[in-house]
Amino acid sequence: MTLPGIITLDGSAVRPAVNTRSARIGGAALSVTNLSVRRGSVALVENTSLSVATGETLCLVGESGCGKSLTCTAIMGLIDAPLTAEGSIRLLGREIADLPERRLNGVRGRDVAMIFQDPMAALNPIQRVGAQVAEILSVHGTTSAAERGREVLALFERVGLPDPARQARAYPHQLSGGMCQRVMIAMAIACRPKVLIADEPTTALDVTIQAQILRLLRELQDDTGMAIVFVTHDLGVVAEIADRVAVMYSGRVVEEAGVHEIFGAPRHPYTRALMACRVGTGQPGTALPAITGSVPAPSARPDGCVFAPRCDHAGPLCLVRPALTQRGTSGTRVACHHPEEAQ
């Protein structure tokens, strides 16, 4: 998947070629195989497989209700009754899907950490934010309180919180959404996890703060080589941060490819439709090519291809037979009876 960078007249590369980053991308840090999350007999996430390598960012995209967040929650081992999860989750080569809760606590926060979508809801409202970050350090073995204190200040500095000593004493309600999100990120990176799961970490933030957070995640990745699974529905964010993209629809991955392929030559009609309906791509004021209808409820999925009812290219076969995943070169895959030809 090496695409040439664009070279300007004076010879300087304005776009980093893919291989400048792929140099740092190593072996699989996390691989999820045939993950399903069910409520009773209804599969909310069905046979989903994903993998992300050291130093790599995988973006998970799709509309609300496609199972993006549930997939993350399942990876973290946070699926609770009435939901059940099955499938294999290998973290740094070790199976964690069937670890008992106590063992999992040793893994969560240290090897794999998660940034939740709504920081206000994820932080404890009646504990100072510094103490909340210190708790993670204490759970994972920093025994000296003084050391934890220093560590928290260093982390706050790292995530760009102004005046760390003062912010550490603040309660979540005294901080803005962007600041709370930075606290969440500080907490997530406190033990230098090998894998970071970020569930829409910038969706609730202003664009300027979003740009700072994306940059911060990038820098942290460059420093520590962590793998990032980044959930978003914003394709602009995908363009900024992804190395690889997995598109989810109604609980399944329908397409996966490198970020340049996804933007340059999307193959699944759903990916193409998502790309087309972004504002800012067409002439202002003209009608946007919207996707008609909505994502089917997991209990009411159609026979055949799940996307067929909303698809412009659906033929007779699509209505009766589910689309199987076809694998292409360099890890790309697409689940469609009539995918656009690969370029």
Partner 1 sequence: MNEPILQMNGVTRRYETGGEFFSRPTVTTAVDDVSLTVAAGEVCAIVGESGSGKSTLARLAAGFDSPDAGQVLFRGMPYAKPGSAPWRRERAVVQFVFQNPSSALDPRATIASQIGEMLTTHERCDAATRQLRIDEILDRVGLGGMGRRLPQQMSGGQLQRAVLARALIVRPELLICDEAVSALDVSVQAQILNLLMSLKDEFGLTMIFITHDLGVARHVGDRIAVMQKGRIVENRRTGYLFERPRHAYTRTLLAAIPAATPAARRAWDAAAAKAAA
SS3 string, 115-160, reads: ECCCHHHHCCCCCCHHHHHHHHHHHCCCCCHHHHHHHHHHHHHHCC
Taking the complex as a whole, how short is the minimal distance between the CB of residue 182 and partner 1, in angstroms? 15
Q: Which stretch binds partner 1 (CB under 8 A): 87-95, 108-116, 167-175, 274-282?
A: 274-282
Strand partners, 38: 43, 84
Half-sphere exposure of 77 (CA within 13 A, CB side): 22
Dihedral (Cα; 23, 26, 32, 33), 10-degree rounding = 90
Taking the complex as a whole, how short is the minimal distance between the CB of residue 272 and partner 1, in angstroms? 12
Strand partners, 125: none
Tokens representing residue 334 in the block = 């697409």
DSSP codes, 244-307: EEEEEETTEEEEEEEHHHHHHS--SHHHHHHHHT-TTSS-TTSPP-PPPS-PPPGGGPPSS-TT
Residue 322 makes contact with partner 1 by CB under 8 A: no
Which of 60, 61, 82, 70 is closest to 35 using CA atoms?
70
53 SS3 class: strand
Q: Which stretch binds partner 1 (CB under 8 A): 34-42, 88-96, 276-284, 317-325?
A: 276-284
Taking the complex as a whole, how short is the minimal distance between the CB of residue 338 and partner 1, in angstroms? 20
**Per-residue burial over 245-259, b = 16 or more CB atoms within 10 Å of its CB, e = otherwise:** bbbbbbbbbbbbbbb
Q: What angle do CA 327, 33, 45 make, to 5 degrees?
A: 95
Among 253, 259, 306, 314, binds partner 1 (CB under 8 A): 259
Residue 21 makes contact with partner 1 by CB under 8 A: yes
Residue 215 makes contact with partner 1 by CB under 8 A: yes
Nearest to partner 1 of 142, 271 (CB atom): 271
Instruction: Tell which positions 67-126 bind partner 1, by CB under 8 A.
Output: none
Taking the complex as a whole, how short is the minimal distance between the CB of residue 209 and partner 1, in angstroms? 8
Residue 312 makes contact with partner 1 by CB under 8 A: no
Residue 250 makes contact with partner 1 by CB under 8 A: no
Taking the complex as a whole, how short is the minimal distance between the CB of residue 176 and partner 1, in angstroms? 8
- Separation CA 306–CA 167 (nearest Å): 48
Among 9, 287, 300, 324, binds partner 1 (CB under 8 A): 287
Q: Which stretch binds partner 1 (CB under 8 A): 92-100, 116-124, 152-160, 213-221?
A: 213-221
Residue 14 makes contact with partner 1 by CB under 8 A: yes
Q: Which stretch binds partner 1 (CB under 8 A): 110-118, 131-139, 277-285, 298-306?
A: 277-285
Taking the complex as a whole, how short is the minimal distance between the CB of residue 228 and partner 1, in angstroms? 15
Q: Which residues bind partner 1 (CB under 8 A)?
A: 5-6, 13-17, 20-21, 23, 63-64, 176-177, 206-211, 214-215, 218-219, 222, 233-237, 239-240, 242, 259-260, 263-264, 273-274, 277-282, 284-285, 287-292, 294
